[in-house]
Amino acid sequence: MTTLKMESLTPAGDPVDLSALAADPAALRAALAEADAATLMLVLVQLTGDHGLLDRARPHITGPMNYHEAMPEDLRAEIRARLADTLLDYARTGRPLPPLPEGDFLQDMLSTAVGEHVSADYTAMMREDLEAAQPDPRGLIWRKRPEPAALESFPVVIIGAGMSGVCAAIRLGQAGIPYTIIEKNPAVGGSWYENFYPGCGVDTPNHFYSYSFELNHEWSHFFAKRDELWTYFERATDKYGVREHIRFETEVSAATYDAATGTWDVATRDASGAVSHIKARAVISAVGVLNRPKLPDIEGRETFAGTALHTAQWQEGLDLKGKRVVMIGTGASGQQVGPTIAPDVEKLTILQRSPHWVVPNPNYFAEVSEGMKWVLAHVPFFARWYRFQLFWAFADGLHASLQVDPAWDDGGKSINQVNARHRQFMERYLRGKLAGRDDLIAKCTPSYPPYGKRILVDNNWYDMLLRPNVDLVTGGIARIVPEGVVMADGTLIEADVIIYATGFQASKMLAPMTITGEGGRDLHKLWGPDDATAYIGTMVPGFPNFFMLMGPNTGLAHGGNVIFITECQMRLILTALREVMENGAKAIDVKPAAHDAYVVDVDERHARMVWTHKGLTNWYRNDAGRVFALLPYRLVDYWKMTKTFKPEDFTLT
């Protein structure tokens, strides 16, 4: 039996052992029966070059998700049978697997896979995720690799060992650049370590919410919960040898640039209070924005006699059975906590400032079958094609609905015709779930257009509101007293536990660190209290060799996932470091003109988008109304920005 390992012909990190397929043909056919037919069709087309299959399947695929595919059963059976035979033939003959198709053929495959036209610019972006390019195009590709001594003399400090910090470490390690991570927690994972409240999980499909170079085929659910996510980052940390470079339970208090030497002095404080300093040639901040809990400014908050906690500061072992619980906030964490604890508590009173738009997803609670896991792990190309479909489903499809049409006017309910259709869909879903409860329908229907605030996937939120032990209260809060919460109308809501699902201090980026750049300039004085800006969300003039992951205007509210943004940013950072090292320079800095032009463009785009809609409030904007948090561009636009390095935008020292 031929064992075929195709590391050079399959996407990076996805070696294929066809002997596993040939070892048990019956098991292969059984596993294929549990996998998505449209994705299997794409694999078969790549293996055989049979373009006719695309023509036959296309009329039956209306979108990228499995529930958008309605091929006749005989066509599905044909695809599965032919694919099994084709795979067994490859295993028997030992012939090499074919590369990714080119040109129009690939574009037809992509378009058929998602039920709509995929343009050429997206084709170029998705090819990067689909094909077997070596070295990995999102890693550092040296033009002239520096000598080992030069690499060793360029240490980098990474602040934070969450998702983005671990990604940065892996990429630096692959490039041979030494690094140290400073992490305030006793473990990696960032938000996925800190947040373990009931129901905590991801609202992006896991097979997409993962590093492009480290796919996981063993997710138990399509939308996994916190423990699996944290374990994923723990495993990646160990697999790539990152852990030995981390200083746990240590915080960075300050970073100061020395222009004479081109180095950063990074001051740290460990759990014992001991202060130390690290010299670095470059610093990468990977602290994120959703990591400092925000507690509401409510009179008497400290007087409450029961248990009070923020969702991001959950108490291990907290028992809510039979308790009277008040939850303040109905955002993402609140909509996960509420339905999870409602069956156990005596009374759950939810205090809502404003409602969110909620959408269904048939796969949200679905388990990944063992057959699907097996196919993801063993059938060549399947995992990558499946990832592409998820990417498209959660990518830029909504972007057009976020643009304000100046000629559109329906009383502020929507901002364009597409946006209005989306509102109609969401309203129908809401009314269907809450039929017969006009009071709840009124409370749960947002007055603002869809996407003005983060869209939430239905975590049984509406079902929970119908429970007899759950109340949704929309009046204002007057104060908190030892017994509970007093509302603006004087009503006392007695409570044993208060849960603050009130978000984070997102506008205070990089706080509470002090970052001092060239000429003694203080980053936070430059930004002011809540107006962070950065070139491509990554660099600020006057702070040479200082980079940010998930910096200003890199957050996503229309689609995608933060791992994609982080990988794009890391490519930009690695390219900048390459410029420094290959040119024997001290440092690289972004020019003020390039930074300012970028910020102007960001602001002008946001001014035409839903997040600045009149009368709308959200955490994306600062007190002056400027959107500091979100990316206004399509994902493909940002991919292009970070892929193409523009030397004219930078100064080498």
Q: What is the spatial distance between Cα 118 and Cα 128, in angstroms, rounded to a whole number?
A: 15
Which pLDDT score, from 0 to 100, does residue 9 have?
A: 31
Distance CA 287, CA 281 (A): 19
**How would residue 288 be classed by pLDDT, with cut points 50, 70 and 90?**
confident
Please state the three-class secondary structure of 619-640 as a single string.
CCECCCCCECCECCCCHHHHHH
Over 90: is that where the pLDDT of 616 sits?
A: no
Q: For strand 477-481 and strand 484-487, is the pairing parallel, antiparallel, or unpaired?
A: antiparallel
| pLDDT at 15 > cutoff 80 | no
d(C-alpha 76, C-alpha 40), whole Å: 9
**What average pLDDT does range 271-279 have in this prediction?**
97
Cα distance between residue 30 and residue 114, in whole Å: 25
Q: How far apart (Å, rounded) are the C-alpha atoms in residues 441 and 474?
A: 12
Residue 135 binned pLDDT confidence (cut-offs 50, 70, 90)? confident
- Confidence label for 132 from pLDDT (cuts 50, 70 and 90): low
Average pLDDT of 494-517?
95
Laid out side by side, the sheet with 477-481 consists of 477-481, 484-487, 492-494
The edge-to-edge listing of strands for the beta sheet with 307-310 is 307-310, 497-500, 324-328, 347-351, 470-473
Contact 158, 286 (CB under 8 A): yes
pLDDT score for 652: 97
Rg from Cα positions in the chain:
26
Do the Cβ atoms of 432 and 359 come closer than 8 Å? no
pLDDT at 14: 60
Under the banding of pLDDT at 50, 70 and 90, the label for residue 464 is very high
State residue 321's pLDDT score. Answer: 97
Residue 613 confidence (pLDDT): 87
pLDDT > 70? residue 5: no
Decide if pLDDT at 644 tops 80.
yes
Segment among 8-22, 264-278, 322-336, 434-448 with least mean pLDDT = 8-22
Q: Is the pLDDT of residue 6 over 80?
A: no
Q: Kindly state the percentage of the chain with pLDDT values over 90.
A: 92
Q: Is 349 within 8 Å of 326 (Cβ atoms)?
A: yes
Separation of alpha carbons 15 and 5, rounded Å: 6
Q: Pick the closest to residue 45 from 30, 57, 33 (CA basis).
A: 57
Q: Which helix (H) or strand (E) holds 312?
A: none
The pLDDT assigned to 4 comes to: 29
List the structure tokens of 425: 């869909």
Instruction: Please report which confidence band the pLDDT of residue 11 belongs to, taking 50, 70 and 90 as the band edges.
Output: very low
Q: What is the mean pLDDT of residues 102-126?
A: 95
HEC sequence for 224-269: CEHHHHHHHHHHHHHHCCCHHHEECCEEEEEEEEECCCCEEEEEEE
Q: What is the mean pLDDT of the chain?
A: 94
HSE-CB of 164 using CA atoms within 13 angstroms = 30
Residue 525 CB neighbour total at 10 angstroms:
10
Compute the distance between CA of residue 357 and CA of residue 139 in angstroms, rounded to an integer: 38
Mean pLDDT (whole number) for 547-554? 97
In angstroms, the CA 311 to CA 187 distance is 19
Residue 293's CB is within 10 A of a number of other CB atoms, namely: 17
> Does the structure show a pLDDT above 60 at 366?
yes
Res. 232: pLDDT tops 70 = yes
Residue 131: what pLDDT?
Answer: 85
CA 506 vs CA 266, 454, 532, 537, 565: distances in Å: 23, 14, 10, 15, 17
Could you tell me what percent of the chain has a pLDDT over 70?
A: 97
* pLDDT confidence tier of residue 224, bands split at 50, 70 and 90: very high
Confidence at residue 292, expressed as pLDDT on a 0 to 100 scale: 87
Q: How confident is the model at residue 447 (pLDDT cuts 50, 70, 90)?
A: very high
* Least confident interval from 2-6, 190-194, 478-482, 508-512: 2-6
Per-residue pLDDT at 289 = 85
* Confidence tier at 1 by pLDDT (50, 70, 90): very low
